[in-house]
């Protein structure tokens, strides 16, 4: 539960600060300082970078590598191209990470995106990094099309971070790279460099941006199940203004739902494998027009249901100690206080969250202790009235 609250608190805090400042664009938070220097002896730092900080939903994201040389001398980096002969089983994705630049995992608001591979054939490439300089390695580039690893769909709006990038580094200054913190042997005996430093990006939608200008935030929440209890999942609209009421109207478009909650499971969280998307096991939606007046600094639930960890098709409960994925989506023509904001033509993911299915807890019932002396205090029959609580032992 603490993890879920922390996940929600960070974007809410950032957005509240923005709404108070009156700025048009939500600031993308700067990453915290990262203490790891990949090659401290050579004073080389590596970063994963994107071509910009803010993207619309579905817009391709270009990811490349930047190296910073804080040393007083130049350093050469040799990267090895993809060699198909080193792949024993090309059907296994974890054995296909062989490009100049390969896997990067994006973490967002409960919805993860994964971009796999970038292959380049041919000779090794050697790049010379001048002293006291930064160099973007344009040859090491992959394009993330905002495809999402688990559901095989487009991700939703929110702040995303590149968790790690793997690059095939063959030589450093003509020698095998040292076994530093970020350098690890690869499957075929070669080597790789895992890069963990990267700035966050924001994925957004024009209607979401316009709503947030009015202080309106679309979202939802999906908590964990602790002891296999049902979990409340809801979609909501927040009014972040501290002084003004807001009336929000969502008019349906086409045959799309105005608001929808989907639950998928069980979710396999292994990375780097070809895993089919999990089946949808629960869904709730509204297709009618929604109109709500929200007081200042308050939210309004527009759709909520209590999910009992059950697959609504089979009737079976998800096993304990597994994960499900909840996705909250909005769609329709949006109005705020009688002003038309715009149209979201297809259901747009605005929030999501992993749901832990809890643990089976064995409850042991301890029978009450019999009275001292082996009988009742009245001296009568030893039989007791089952409708009354047992008497405490006499002392």
Q: Which two tokens stand for residue 358?
A: 């809890």
First to last CA, the chain: 45
Close Cβ partners of 268 (under 8 Å, ≥ 6 residues apart): 275, 278
Give the per-residue pLDDT at 108.
55
Close Cβ partners of 181 (under 8 Å, ≥ 6 residues apart): 36, 38
Give the per-residue pLDDT at 381.
47
Give the per-residue pLDDT at 88.
42
Q: Within 10 A of 135 (CB to CB), how many other CB atoms are there?
A: 15
**pTM, rounded to two decimals:** 0.73
Close Cβ partners of 139 (under 8 Å, ≥ 6 residues apart): 79, 100, 120, 125, 127
pLDDT tens digit at each of 395 positions of the chain: 433 444 444 344 443 333 333 333 444 545 444 445 578 888 998 888 889 999 999 999 888 888 999 999 999 988 765 544 544 444 443 333 333 455 455 555 544 544 444 444 445 778 899 999 999 887 777 778 887 777 888 888 988 877 777 777 778 898 877 765 444 444 444 456 777 777 788 999 999 999 999 999 999 999 999 889 999 999 999 999 999 999 999 999 999 999 999 999 998 876 555 678 899 999 999 999 999 999 999 999 999 999 999 999 999 999 999 999 999 999 999 999 999 999 999 999 998 888 999 987 665 667 776 665 544 444 444 455 555 554 444 33
- Nearest to residue 58, comparing CAs of 181, 176, 146? 146
Give the per-residue pLDDT at 232.
95
């Amino acid at each position: 539960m603490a993890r879920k609250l922390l996940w929600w608190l960070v974007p809410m805090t950032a957005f509240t600060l923005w709404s108070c400042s009156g700025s048009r664009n939500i600031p993308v938070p700067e990453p915290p300082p990262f203490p790891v220097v990949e090659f401290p002896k050579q004073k080389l730092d590596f970063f994963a970078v994107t071509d910009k900080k803010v993207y619309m939903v579905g817009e391709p994201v270009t990811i490349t590598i930047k190296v910073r040389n804080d040393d007083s001398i130049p350093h050469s980096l040799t990267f090895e191209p993809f060699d198909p002969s080193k792949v024993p089983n090309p059907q296994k994705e974890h054995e296909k990470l062989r490009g100049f630049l390969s896997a990067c995992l994006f973490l967002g608001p409960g919805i993860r995106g994964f971009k796999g591979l970038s292959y380049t054939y041919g000779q090794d490439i050697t790049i010379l990094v001048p002293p006291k300089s930064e160099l973007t390695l344009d040859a090491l580039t992959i394009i993330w099309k905002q495809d999402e690893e688990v559901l095989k769909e487009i991700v939703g709006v929110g702040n995303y971070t590149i968790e790690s990038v793997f690059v095939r580094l063959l030589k450093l200054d003509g020698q095998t790279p040292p076994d530093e913190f970020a350098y690890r042997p690869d499957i075929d005996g070669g080597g790789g460099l895992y890069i963990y430093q990267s700035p966050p990006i924001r994925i957004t939608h024009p209607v979401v941006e316009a709503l947030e200008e009015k202080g309106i935030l679309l979202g939802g929440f999906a908590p964990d199940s602790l002891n296999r209890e049902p979990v409340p999942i809801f979609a909501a609209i927040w009014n972040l203004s501290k002084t003004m009421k807001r009336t929000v109207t969502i008019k349906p478009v086409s045959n799309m739902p105005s608001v929808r909650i989907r639950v998928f499971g069980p979710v396999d969280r292994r990375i780097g494998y070809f895993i089919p998307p999990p089946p949808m096991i629960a869904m709730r939606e509204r297709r009618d027009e929604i109109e709500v007046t929200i007081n200042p600094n308050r939210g309004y639930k527009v759709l909520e249901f209590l999910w009992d960890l059950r697959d609504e098709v089979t009737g079976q409960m998800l096993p304990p100690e597994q994960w499900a994925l909840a996705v909250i989506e909005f769609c329709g023509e949006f109005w705020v206080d009688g002003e038309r904001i715009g149209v979201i033509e297809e259901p747009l993911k605005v929030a999501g969250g992993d749901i832990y299915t809890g643990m089976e807890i064995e409850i042991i019932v301890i029978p009450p202790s019999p009275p001292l002396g082996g009988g009742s205090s009245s001296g009568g029959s030893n039989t007791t009235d089952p409708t009354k609580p047992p008497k405490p032992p006499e002392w």
